[in-house]
Amino acid sequence: MSRVAGGEALLGDIEKEVFRRQLHQLADFCGVEVLTYCIMSNHFHLLVRVPPEEETRRASDTELERRLRRLYPHEQAEAWISRLRGEERKATRERLLGRMGDISLYLKELKQRFSIWYNHTHNRYGTLWAERFKSVLVEPSGNALLTVACYIDLNPVRAGLCGDPKEYRFCGYAEAVAGGGTMRRGLLRVLEQKDWRRGAREYRLVLFGRGYFTELGGKAGVPEVKYASVKKHGGELGLADQLRCRVRYFTAGAAIGSKAYVMALMRERVDFLGPGRKTGPSRMRSPALRDLYSLRDLRRNPVG
């Protein structure tokens, strides 16, 4: 966890979105696994799995190249790759691996990169963060891990920003509900599950149970009526809720309907799509939406 200097509420929606993107980019590069997170207006929480050293050092040169392209602009990434492929390969590889699998370096780079972006964007200079991050070790399975994950995802509920964390787009649970594969995998690891549909129901039940029965410091908790509703439905999200969490389909999907409908539009509008389009309609990724397709594939970021 880390706070903004002076506790100022400097992080609006745009800033939170940029921080979320950088959080995932750096996690991918560093080989750490974000299990869940929450970005508030003056602080953030991260639950991260740090891989053992032997796992980190198994990264192939091809994998290192992919991570470099994920993190850096084209020219900078290619400069690194050139050294990795040349006479400096061994030294370059060791230097890159030294930046991976280390939570301190991961958070240092994350906070530095965001500070540079924030100060440049807001014509500001000076320190953005109040202190070095605070951290605790968590047992990597069972009740402790689940409790910490719930605590993090319930931050916006305790702050009175919403009654359901799926409505707060800057937390891991909301991203997972919206179809984010990275956060689904993270929460499935927390739950020790493999199937998202089953895991989603289980996590939602636990999440609302913790939020209802544990009101820390007298702060807002999950409303009783909301907890009763979640319990009644066994943690299953209704179609309307899933649609609301996938709102970007309705602003950037270009066309939505049955597969036949979207296919017909694609044939009619080849002038717009171009003859090089080789993929067909994209299924909207949710069991409740299995009969709907969109022209554009928004699986990576269906909320926006």
Least confident of 51-65, 100-114, 173-187, 207-221: 207-221
Tell me how far the alpha carbon of residue 96 is from its chain's centroid.
24
Residue-level pLDDT at 142:
76
Residue 288: pLDDT above 50? Answer: no
With tokens 């899933």, the residue in question is 242
Residue-level pLDDT at 109:
93
Residue-level pLDDT at 303:
40
Say if residues 37 and 27 touch (Cβ distance below 8 Å). Answer: no
Number of residues written out for the chain: 304
- Using one digit for the tens of pLDDT, what is the confidence trace for 148-185? 899 899 999 888 888 889 889 899 999 998 888 899 99
What global pTM score does this model have? 0.75
Q: Per-domain residue ranges for the chain?
A: 54-97, 138-237, 253-294
Least confident of 25-34, 43-52, 221-230, 234-243: 234-243
User: How many other CB atoms are there within 10 angstroms of residue 173's CB atom?
Assistant: 28
pLDDT averaged over every residue in the chain: 82
**How is 9-51 classified by DSSP, letter by letter?**
----HHHHHHHHHHHHHHHHHHT-EEEEEEE-SSEEEEEEEPP
Say if residues 127 and 8 touch (Cβ distance below 8 Å). Answer: no
Residue 223: pLDDT above 60? Answer: yes
Q: If DSSP codes are grouped into helix, strand and coil, which group holds residue 47? A: strand
Tell me the chain's radius of gyration from C-alpha atoms.
Answer: 21
Give counts: helices (H), strands (E), the chain.
16, 6
Say if residues 65 and 28 touch (Cβ distance below 8 Å). Answer: no
Residue-level pLDDT at 301:
45
